[in-house]
Chain A
Amino acid sequence: MSGREVVVTGIGIVTALGIGAADNWAAMREGRSGARMLTRFPVEGQRTQFAAAVPLAGTEGQRPGDLAEHYGALAIEEALAESGLGGSAFPGPLVIGLPPIFLDWPDRLALAAGAEMPAGGDTALLAVAGQPGFRPLYGRIRSHHVAARLADRFAIRDMPVVLSTACSSGATAIQTAAEAITRGDCEAAIAGGADASLSPEMLTRFSLLAALSRRNDSPETASRPFDVDRDGFVPGEGAGALVLESRAAAEARGARILGRIAGWGETTDGHHRTRSDPSGMPAATAMRAAIARAGLAPDDIDYVNAHGTSTPENDKMEALSCGLVFGERMPRLPVSSTKSMIGHTLSAAGAIEAVAVLMMLREQVILPTINIETQDPEIALDPVAEGARPARLRHVLSNSFGFGGQNACLVLSAGPGNRAGG
Chain B
Amino acid sequence: MSGGAIRGAAITGIGIVSAAGESPEAHLAALRARRGPVPDSETHPPFAFHAAADVDLERRVPKRSDRRQMEHWQLLGVTAAGDALEAAGLLGDVEAMARVELHVAADGGGRDPEADAAVIGALAGMADWGPELNARLQRELKPSSMLAQLPNMLGGNIAIVHGLGGGSRTFMGEETGGMQALAAALARIEAGQSAGLLVGGAYNVAPPDRILALAIGGLLHEGPVVPVFDAGRRGIVPGAMSAFLMLEPAAAAAARGAPVLARLSGLVSSWTGPGGGSDLGPLAAALAGLAAGAAVPLAISAASGMPARSQAELAAIRAACPAAEIVALGDLAGHGMDASFPAAVALAALAVAAGDAPRVLVSGGAHWRGEAAALVEAAA
Asked if B205 CB lies within 8 Å of chain A CBs, one says no
Give the shortest distance, in Å, between A406 (CB) and chain B (any CB): 6
Contacts A161-B171, A163-B169 hold; do A141 and B213 have CB atoms under 8 A apart? yes
B187: contacting residue among A98, A166, A180, CB under 8 A: A180
Near A by CB (< 8 A), chain B positions 111-134 give 111, 113-114, 116-121, 123-125, 129-131, 133-134
Asked if A89 CB lies within 8 Å of chain B CBs, one says no
Asked if A297 CB lies within 8 Å of chain B CBs, one says no
Which of B17-25, B50-58, B154-162, B290-298 faces chain A?
B154-162
Nearest to A139 among chain B residues (CB) is B217
Nearest to B220 among chain A residues (CB) is A130
Give the shortest distance, in Å, between B334 (CB) and chain A (any CB): 17
- In the bound complex, residues from chain A placing their C-beta under 8 Å from that of B239 are none
Asked if B79 CB lies within 8 Å of chain A CBs, one says no
For chain A, the bracket of interface size reads 35 or more
- In the bound complex, residues from chain B placing their C-beta under 8 Å from that of A152 are 274
Near A by CB (< 8 A), chain B positions 69-110 give 69, 102, 107-109
Contacts A134-B216, A270-B159 hold; do A404 and B152 have CB atoms under 8 A apart? yes
Interface pair B137/A201, CB less than 8 Å apart? yes
Between B188, B215, B270, the greatest number of chain A beta carbons within 10 A of the residue's beta carbon is seen for B215
Near B by CB (< 8 A), chain A positions 282-298 give 282, 286
In the assembly, what is the distance between CA of A83 and CA of B209, in Å? 42
- In the bound complex, residues from chain A placing their C-beta under 8 Å from that of B188 are 179, 183
Near B by CB (< 8 A), chain A positions 113-160 give 113, 115, 118-126, 129-130, 132, 134-135, 137-138, 141-144, 147-148, 151-152, 157-160
In the assembly, what is the distance between CA of A46 and CA of B118, in Å? 18
Give the shortest distance, in Å, between A189 (CB) and chain B (any CB): 13
Contact with A along B207-229 (1 / 0, CB 8 A): 01101110111111000000000
In the assembly, what is the distance between CA of A194 and CA of B369, in Å? 21
Asked if B281 CB lies within 8 Å of chain A CBs, one says no
In the assembly, what is the distance between CA of A43 and CA of B131, in Å? 7
For chain B, the bracket of interface size reads 35 or more
Interface pair A121/B114, CB less than 8 Å apart? yes
- In the bound complex, residues from chain B placing their C-beta under 8 Å from that of A163 are 169-172
Give the shortest distance, in Å, between B66 (CB) and chain A (any CB): 10
Asked if B44 CB lies within 8 Å of chain A CBs, one says yes
Interface pair B170/A164, CB less than 8 Å apart? yes
Near B by CB (< 8 A), chain A positions 100-123 give 100, 102-103, 105, 108-109, 111-113, 115, 118-123
Interface pair B121/A118, CB less than 8 Å apart? yes
Contact with A along B159-190 (1 / 0, CB 8 A): 11001111111111110110110001001100
- In the bound complex, residues from chain A placing their C-beta under 8 Å from that of B152 are 164-166, 402-404, 406
10 sampled A-B residue pairs with Cβ under 8 A: A46-B134, A100-B108, A109-B124, A112-B124, A118-B124, A126-B47, A144-B172, A162-B180, A268-B102, A405-B156
Chain B interface residues toward A at CB < 8 A: 1-2, 44, 47, 69, 102, 107-109, 111, 113-114, 116-121, 123-125, 129-131, 133-135, 137-138, 141-143, 145-147, 149-153, 155-157, 159-160, 163-174, 176-177, 179-180, 184, 187-188, 191-193, 208-209, 211-213, 215-220, 269-271, 274, 366, 368-370
